[in-house]
C-alpha cells in the first residue's frame, strides 16, 4: 500500500534534548512538508522541500532543522532551541506541480516533560 508514515506516534522529550521525527513516503512524491499544529489551531509551515538535497524555511523554522538526502525521507529535528515544542507534528507529500493535492501522515504528538 502506498502512503506516508510518521513515527513515532507519541514522543516525550526532556528539556534541553534534541529529538528527531521520522517521515517516510512510498508515493514517489518529490515535494514534502512539515507542519506544526497547536490545540484548536490550524497548520503552520515549518519547512518544505521540492527536491532531494534542497529545502526552504517556512513560517516558523526557528528551533527546527531538516534534511532531504533521499526522495522518500524528510526527517525533522526539534532542537533544544525550540522553546515551546509541545505540539502535534504533521508531515505531507505531493507531486510537484500545479494544484496537486498533498497527502498527510497520521502525525506525531510531541510532549516536553
CB of 3 to other proteins, least distance (A): 10
Closer residue to other proteins, CB minimum distance, 77 or 88: 88
Name the DSSP letter for residue 27: S
CB of 2 to other proteins, least distance (A): 14
CA 9 to chain centre: 13
Give the Å distances, CA to CA, from 31 to 18, 21, 94. Answer: 25, 17, 5
Q: What is the DSSP string of 92-113?
A: EEE-SSTTPPPEE---EEEEE-
Which residues of this protein are in contact with other proteins, per CB under 8 A?
Answer: 6, 31, 33, 35, 40-45, 48, 50, 56, 58, 88, 90, 92, 94, 96, 98-107, 109
Closer residue to other proteins, CB minimum distance, 30 or 80: 30
CB of 16 to other proteins, least distance (A): 27
Amino acid at each position: 500500500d502506498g502512503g506516508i508514515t510518521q513515527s513515532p506516534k507519541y514522543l516525550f522529550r526532556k528539556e534541553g534534548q534534541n529529538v528527531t521525527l521520522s517521515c517516510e513516503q512510498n508515493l514517489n512524491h518529490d515535494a514534502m512538508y512539515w507542519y506544526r499544529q497547536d490545540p484548536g489551531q490550524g497548520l503552520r509551515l515549518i519547512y518544505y522541500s521540492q527536491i532531494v538535497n534542497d529545502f526552504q524555511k517556512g513560517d516558523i523554522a526557528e528551533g527546527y532543522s531538516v534534511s532531504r538526502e533521499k526522495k522518500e525521507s524528510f526527517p525533522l529535528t526539534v532542537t533544544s532551541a525550540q522553546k515551546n515544542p509541545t505540539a502535534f507534528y504533521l508531515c505531507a507529500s505531493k507531486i510537484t506541480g500545479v494544484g496537486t493535492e498533498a497527502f498527510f501522515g497520521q502525525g506525531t504528538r510531541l510532549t516536553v516533560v
